[in-house]
Amino acid sequence: MSDLHSIKSLFSIKDENIKITEIREAVYKNRKVTLAESTLTRVFRRCPCCKATADQLVKNGKKVSMILLNRSGNKRAYLRLKKQRYHCRACGKYFTARTAMVNPSCFISKQVHYQILEELSERQAMTTIAKHCDVSSTTIQRTLRALSAAARPRLDHLPTCLLFDEFRSLSTWHGSFSFSCMDGETGRLFDILPSRKKQDLVAYFMRFDLKARQKVRFIVTDMNAPYFSLVKECFPNAEVIVDRFHIVQHVNKFFDAVRKRVHEALRSKRSN
Protein backbone atom coordinates (compact mmCIF):
# COMPACT_ATOMS: atom_id res chain seq x y z
CA MET A 1 0.00 0.00 0.00
CA SER A 2 1.47 3.36 -1.04
CA ASP A 3 1.91 6.23 1.39
CA LEU A 4 -0.67 8.36 -0.46
CA HIS A 5 -3.18 5.52 -0.36
CA SER A 6 -2.54 5.14 3.38
CA ILE A 7 -3.21 8.86 3.84
CA LYS A 8 -6.43 8.44 1.87
CA SER A 9 -7.48 5.73 4.33
CA LEU A 10 -6.45 7.95 7.24
CA PHE A 11 -8.85 10.67 6.05
CA SER A 12 -11.61 8.06 5.46
CA ILE A 13 -11.81 8.89 1.75
CA LYS A 14 -13.44 5.82 0.21
CA ASP A 15 -14.21 7.16 -3.26
CA GLU A 16 -11.99 5.20 -5.65
CA ASN A 17 -12.22 8.00 -8.23
CA ILE A 18 -10.36 10.41 -5.92
CA LYS A 19 -6.59 10.27 -6.22
CA ILE A 20 -4.36 11.92 -3.60
CA THR A 21 -1.35 13.53 -5.30
CA GLU A 22 0.32 15.41 -2.45
CA ILE A 23 0.07 16.17 1.28
CA ARG A 24 1.53 19.44 2.50
CA GLU A 25 1.24 22.16 5.12
CA ALA A 26 -0.31 25.35 3.82
CA VAL A 27 -1.88 28.61 4.96
CA TYR A 28 -5.60 28.90 4.28
CA LYS A 29 -7.86 31.63 5.68
CA ASN A 30 -4.90 32.92 7.73
CA ARG A 31 -4.41 29.55 9.47
CA LYS A 32 -1.90 26.76 9.08
CA VAL A 33 -3.71 23.70 7.75
CA THR A 34 -2.98 20.24 6.43
CA LEU A 35 -3.77 20.29 2.72
CA ALA A 36 -4.38 17.19 0.62
CA GLU A 37 -4.04 17.83 -3.11
CA SER A 38 -6.29 15.51 -5.10
CA THR A 39 -8.11 14.91 -8.37
CA LEU A 40 -11.54 13.49 -9.18
CA THR A 41 -12.17 11.88 -12.56
CA ARG A 42 -15.09 9.64 -13.47
CA VAL A 43 -15.81 7.47 -16.50
CA PHE A 44 -19.24 8.28 -17.95
CA ARG A 45 -20.89 5.86 -20.34
CA ARG A 46 -23.62 8.36 -21.14
CA CYS A 47 -24.32 12.05 -20.70
CA PRO A 48 -26.31 12.52 -17.44
CA CYS A 49 -28.28 15.32 -19.13
CA CYS A 50 -29.34 13.91 -22.52
CA LYS A 51 -28.16 10.25 -22.27
CA ALA A 52 -25.91 10.62 -25.30
CA THR A 53 -23.16 8.01 -25.63
CA ALA A 54 -19.67 8.50 -24.20
CA ASP A 55 -18.14 9.41 -27.55
CA GLN A 56 -20.04 12.73 -27.34
CA LEU A 57 -18.32 13.68 -24.07
CA VAL A 58 -15.09 15.65 -23.97
CA LYS A 59 -13.04 16.85 -21.01
CA ASN A 60 -13.33 20.58 -20.36
CA GLY A 61 -10.88 21.63 -17.65
CA LYS A 62 -11.20 21.20 -13.92
CA LYS A 63 -13.16 22.87 -11.11
CA VAL A 64 -11.34 23.25 -7.78
CA SER A 65 -13.13 22.88 -4.44
CA MET A 66 -11.77 23.20 -0.89
CA ILE A 67 -13.49 20.55 1.22
CA LEU A 68 -13.21 20.57 5.02
CA LEU A 69 -12.13 17.24 6.55
CA ASN A 70 -11.82 16.10 10.15
CA ARG A 71 -8.80 17.43 12.02
CA SER A 72 -5.39 15.85 11.53
CA GLY A 73 -2.55 16.35 14.01
CA ASN A 74 -4.60 18.99 15.85
CA LYS A 75 -4.78 21.05 12.63
CA ARG A 76 -7.62 21.80 10.28
CA ALA A 77 -7.47 19.54 7.24
CA TYR A 78 -8.73 20.35 3.76
CA LEU A 79 -9.05 18.37 0.58
CA ARG A 80 -8.18 20.53 -2.43
CA LEU A 81 -10.17 18.58 -4.97
CA LYS A 82 -9.75 19.20 -8.68
CA LYS A 83 -12.98 17.89 -10.21
CA GLN A 84 -13.00 17.04 -13.89
CA ARG A 85 -15.49 19.05 -15.99
CA TYR A 86 -17.11 17.60 -19.09
CA HIS A 87 -18.85 18.99 -22.16
CA CYS A 88 -21.49 17.10 -24.10
CA ARG A 89 -21.35 17.89 -27.82
CA ALA A 90 -24.83 16.41 -28.31
CA CYS A 91 -26.79 18.69 -25.96
CA GLY A 92 -24.17 21.39 -25.45
CA LYS A 93 -24.36 21.18 -21.63
CA TYR A 94 -21.49 21.14 -19.14
CA PHE A 95 -21.28 19.08 -15.95
CA THR A 96 -18.73 18.21 -13.29
CA ALA A 97 -17.73 14.90 -11.73
CA ARG A 98 -19.25 14.41 -8.28
CA THR A 99 -18.28 12.44 -5.21
CA ALA A 100 -20.41 10.89 -2.47
CA MET A 101 -18.12 12.20 0.26
CA VAL A 102 -19.73 15.65 0.09
CA ASN A 103 -23.23 16.87 -0.71
CA PRO A 104 -23.77 18.91 -3.89
CA SER A 105 -22.91 22.62 -3.49
CA CYS A 106 -21.44 21.88 -0.04
CA PHE A 107 -17.80 22.29 1.02
CA ILE A 108 -18.00 20.34 4.30
CA SER A 109 -17.40 16.60 4.00
CA LYS A 110 -19.94 14.13 5.31
CA GLN A 111 -17.38 12.83 7.80
CA VAL A 112 -17.45 16.25 9.50
CA HIS A 113 -21.26 16.10 9.67
CA TYR A 114 -20.98 12.63 11.24
CA GLN A 115 -18.56 14.06 13.79
CA ILE A 116 -21.08 16.84 14.54
CA LEU A 117 -23.83 14.26 15.14
CA GLU A 118 -21.52 12.34 17.46
CA GLU A 119 -20.72 15.52 19.39
CA LEU A 120 -24.44 16.36 19.62
CA SER A 121 -25.01 13.12 21.53
CA GLU A 122 -22.98 14.60 24.41
CA ARG A 123 -24.19 17.25 26.83
CA GLN A 124 -22.36 20.35 25.59
CA ALA A 125 -23.07 23.72 24.04
CA MET A 126 -23.38 24.11 20.27
CA THR A 127 -20.63 26.73 20.30
CA THR A 128 -18.29 24.13 21.84
CA ILE A 129 -19.21 21.60 19.16
CA ALA A 130 -18.64 24.22 16.47
CA LYS A 131 -15.15 24.88 17.84
CA HIS A 132 -14.31 21.16 17.98
CA CYS A 133 -15.44 20.59 14.37
CA ASP A 134 -14.08 23.85 12.91
CA VAL A 135 -17.48 24.97 11.63
CA SER A 136 -19.95 27.73 12.48
CA SER A 137 -22.82 27.40 14.95
CA THR A 138 -25.18 27.85 11.99
CA THR A 139 -23.74 24.68 10.42
CA ILE A 140 -24.41 22.80 13.66
CA GLN A 141 -28.04 23.94 13.56
CA ARG A 142 -28.42 22.97 9.89
CA THR A 143 -27.00 19.50 10.60
CA LEU A 144 -29.39 19.08 13.52
CA ARG A 145 -32.37 20.23 11.42
CA ALA A 146 -31.42 17.79 8.66
CA LEU A 147 -31.30 14.96 11.20
CA SER A 148 -34.66 16.01 12.66
CA ALA A 149 -36.22 16.06 9.18
CA ALA A 150 -34.87 12.59 8.41
CA ALA A 151 -36.09 11.20 11.73
CA ARG A 152 -39.41 13.05 11.78
CA PRO A 153 -41.92 11.02 13.84
CA ARG A 154 -45.14 9.55 12.50
CA LEU A 155 -48.13 11.74 13.24
CA ASP A 156 -50.33 8.75 14.07
CA HIS A 157 -48.19 7.48 16.95
CA LEU A 158 -47.04 8.76 20.34
CA PRO A 159 -45.43 6.80 23.21
CA THR A 160 -47.62 5.89 26.19
CA CYS A 161 -45.20 7.72 28.49
CA LEU A 162 -43.45 10.95 27.48
CA LEU A 163 -40.57 12.62 29.31
CA PHE A 164 -40.37 16.42 28.98
CA ASP A 165 -37.25 18.43 29.71
CA GLU A 166 -35.36 21.49 28.47
CA PHE A 167 -31.67 22.18 28.02
CA ARG A 168 -29.54 25.22 27.37
CA SER A 169 -28.62 25.52 23.69
CA LEU A 170 -27.52 28.19 21.24
CA SER A 171 -29.32 31.50 21.77
CA THR A 172 -31.67 32.23 18.87
CA TRP A 173 -34.89 34.16 18.37
CA HIS A 174 -36.58 31.11 19.97
CA GLY A 175 -34.67 31.71 23.20
CA SER A 176 -31.65 30.17 24.89
CA PHE A 177 -33.37 26.91 25.85
CA SER A 178 -34.50 24.01 23.66
CA PHE A 179 -37.10 21.33 24.41
CA SER A 180 -36.45 17.58 24.43
CA CYS A 181 -39.01 14.80 24.46
CA MET A 182 -38.19 11.16 25.20
CA ASP A 183 -40.03 7.85 25.16
CA GLY A 184 -40.41 6.92 28.82
CA GLU A 185 -40.67 3.20 28.09
CA THR A 186 -37.62 2.77 25.85
CA GLY A 187 -35.53 5.73 27.03
CA ARG A 188 -34.98 6.81 23.41
CA LEU A 189 -35.06 10.39 22.24
CA PHE A 190 -38.39 11.14 20.52
CA ASP A 191 -37.72 14.68 19.27
CA ILE A 192 -35.90 17.95 19.95
CA LEU A 193 -37.53 21.35 19.40
CA PRO A 194 -35.72 24.70 19.25
CA SER A 195 -38.25 26.34 21.59
CA ARG A 196 -39.74 25.45 24.97
CA LYS A 197 -42.47 28.10 24.76
CA LYS A 198 -45.96 26.80 25.37
CA GLN A 199 -47.47 28.07 22.11
CA ASP A 200 -44.73 26.37 20.09
CA LEU A 201 -45.13 23.08 21.96
CA VAL A 202 -48.93 23.13 21.58
CA ALA A 203 -48.57 23.76 17.84
CA TYR A 204 -46.14 20.84 17.60
CA PHE A 205 -48.17 18.25 19.53
CA MET A 206 -51.49 19.26 17.99
CA ARG A 207 -50.14 18.05 14.65
CA PHE A 208 -50.51 14.50 15.94
CA ASP A 209 -53.79 12.64 15.49
CA LEU A 210 -56.26 12.88 18.36
CA LYS A 211 -56.20 9.08 18.79
CA ALA A 212 -52.44 9.17 19.18
CA ARG A 213 -52.64 11.94 21.81
CA GLN A 214 -55.38 10.08 23.68
CA LYS A 215 -53.12 7.04 24.04
CA VAL A 216 -50.57 9.05 26.05
CA ARG A 217 -51.12 8.09 29.72
CA PHE A 218 -48.20 9.67 31.55
CA ILE A 219 -46.19 12.88 31.17
CA VAL A 220 -43.06 13.02 33.33
CA THR A 221 -41.70 16.53 33.73
CA ASP A 222 -40.30 19.09 36.14
CA MET A 223 -42.34 21.76 37.95
CA ASN A 224 -42.50 24.07 34.94
CA ALA A 225 -46.06 25.45 35.08
CA PRO A 226 -46.62 25.76 31.28
CA TYR A 227 -46.13 22.01 30.91
CA PHE A 228 -49.14 21.35 33.16
CA SER A 229 -51.46 23.49 31.03
CA LEU A 230 -49.90 22.00 27.89
CA VAL A 231 -50.90 18.52 29.02
CA LYS A 232 -54.51 19.62 29.59
CA GLU A 233 -54.74 21.04 26.08
CA CYS A 234 -52.97 18.29 24.14
CA PHE A 235 -53.25 15.04 26.12
CA PRO A 236 -56.77 14.57 27.54
CA ASN A 237 -56.05 11.18 29.15
CA ALA A 238 -52.54 11.85 30.48
CA GLU A 239 -51.49 12.14 34.10
CA VAL A 240 -48.66 14.52 35.04
CA ILE A 241 -45.85 13.06 37.14
CA VAL A 242 -43.12 15.29 38.57
CA ASP A 243 -39.85 13.35 38.44
CA ARG A 244 -37.97 12.68 41.65
CA PHE A 245 -34.81 14.46 40.52
CA HIS A 246 -36.53 17.85 40.37
CA ILE A 247 -38.38 17.23 43.64
CA VAL A 248 -35.11 16.48 45.45
CA GLN A 249 -33.48 19.46 43.72
CA HIS A 250 -36.18 21.85 44.96
CA VAL A 251 -36.03 20.38 48.50
CA ASN A 252 -32.26 20.82 48.58
CA LYS A 253 -32.57 24.42 47.38
CA PHE A 254 -35.17 25.10 50.10
CA PHE A 255 -32.99 23.59 52.86
CA ASP A 256 -29.97 25.48 51.58
CA ALA A 257 -31.94 28.76 51.69
CA VAL A 258 -33.06 28.02 55.26
CA ARG A 259 -29.50 27.14 56.26
CA LYS A 260 -28.17 30.44 54.90
CA ARG A 261 -30.94 32.41 56.59
CA VAL A 262 -30.30 30.75 59.98
CA HIS A 263 -26.54 31.20 59.57
CA GLU A 264 -26.94 34.92 58.87
CA ALA A 265 -29.32 35.29 61.84
CA LEU A 266 -26.86 33.58 64.23
CA ARG A 267 -23.95 35.62 62.97
CA SER A 268 -25.93 38.87 63.43
CA LYS A 269 -26.92 37.77 66.93
CA ARG A 270 -23.30 37.04 67.92
CA SER A 271 -22.10 40.38 66.60
CA ASN A 272 -24.65 42.17 68.75
With 60 as the cut, is the pLDDT of residue 56 above it?
A: yes
**pLDDT (0 to 100) of residue 4:** 65
Tell me which of 37-46, 54-63, 78-87, 217-226 is least confident: 217-226
Domain ranges of the chain: 3-107, 110-152, 154-272
**pLDDT (0 to 100) of residue 175:** 63
Backbone angles phi, psi at 67, to 5 degrees: -110, 125
CA angle 17, 31, 40 (to 5 degrees): 10
Architecture field, domain 154-272: 2-Layer Sandwich (3.30)
For residues 80 and 39, what is the distance between their CA atoms, to the nearest angstrom?
8
Give the list of residues 6+ apart from residue 116 with CB closer than 8 angstroms, or none: 129, 133, 135, 139, 140, 143
What's the mean pLDDT in 118-127?
83
Give the list of residues 6+ apart from residue 227 with CB closer than 8 angstroms, or none: 164, 219, 221, 240
Beta bridge partners of 19: 39
Look at residues 224, 205, 221 and name the one whose alpha carbon lies nearest to residue 213: 205
Tell me which of 14-18, 65-69, 123-127, 248-252 is least confident: 248-252
With 90 as the cut, is the pLDDT of residue 215 above it?
A: yes
pLDDT digits (tens, 9 = 90+) for 72-105: 878 899 999 999 999 999 999 999 999 989 988 8
**pLDDT (0 to 100) of residue 118:** 85
Strand, coil or helix: what is 189?
Answer: strand
Which is higher by pLDDT, 196 or 62? 62
**pLDDT (0 to 100) of residue 74:** 84
What's the mean pLDDT in 224-248?
84
Q: How confident is the model at residue 1 (pLDDT cuts 50, 70, 90)?
A: very low
Cβ(8)–Cβ(20) below 8 Å: yes
**pLDDT (0 to 100) of residue 152:** 62
With 80 as the cut, is the pLDDT of residue 134 above it?
A: yes
Q: How confident is the model at residue 247 (pLDDT cuts 50, 70, 90)?
A: low
DSSP characters over 227-257? HHHHHHHH-TT-EEEE-HHHHHHHHHHHHHH
As a whole number, the mean pLDDT across the chain is: 86
